[in-house]
Amino acid sequence: MMSEMNSLEEIRSNLERLFKDPILNILLKNSNLTEIQLETLIIEFLLEISQSEKINYTLKGLIRPKKVTRGSFHRTLQQAKKNIISALFTILLLFYLGSLDESFLNDFKLLAERLKEYLSLPKTMNSRISKKAFKDLEEELLSGFKRFLEVKTRV
């Protein structure tokens, strides 16, 4: 039980650190998820991959900074999943109507690849060159996000 509690505290600590990430914050701000929904999804995901035993919603609700009931945690998780599915169908709908074209998808894929590269870089680097490369990539991503915010559709 003690190691489980340490693990839960570690997840809570990682959540706090994650929500200080400027890239995460711009993505969240422009997504159709609330901060609480994203927090709930992250808790669900982290506990699914890190625990050998299934952890109940009551315990998951206690990990959130503002502790919630089991029912509230489950409801928020379902809302988040529904919003994700809805966002994907919205993109498909816009492709179907012809208001998004192949270049949008190519730009999206490139930005996703750069995000993957960003995530693979260690956050604490010693050399000035590494810190500069990290900062440059962060700036490139922020610029890419701004371009996506300006995407015009034909609808």
Q: Output the pLDDT for position 77.
A: 95
- Give the whole-number percent of the chain exceeding pLDDT 70: 85
- Looking at residue 54, what DSSP letter applies? P
- Segment 52-81 mean pLDDT: 86
**Number of Cβ atoms within 10 Å of the Cβ of 26:** 15
- Segment 30-50 mean pLDDT: 89
Q: Are 84 and 33 in contact (CB under 8 A)?
A: yes
Residue type, 126: N
Q: Are 51 and 31 in contact (CB under 8 A)?
A: no
Rounded to an integer, what distance in angstroms lies between the CA atom of residue 35 and that of residue 148? 21
Q: Output the pLDDT for position 125.
A: 62
Q: Sign of dihedral through CA atoms 88, 94, 100, 101?
A: positive
Domain boundaries, the chain: 1-97, 100-155
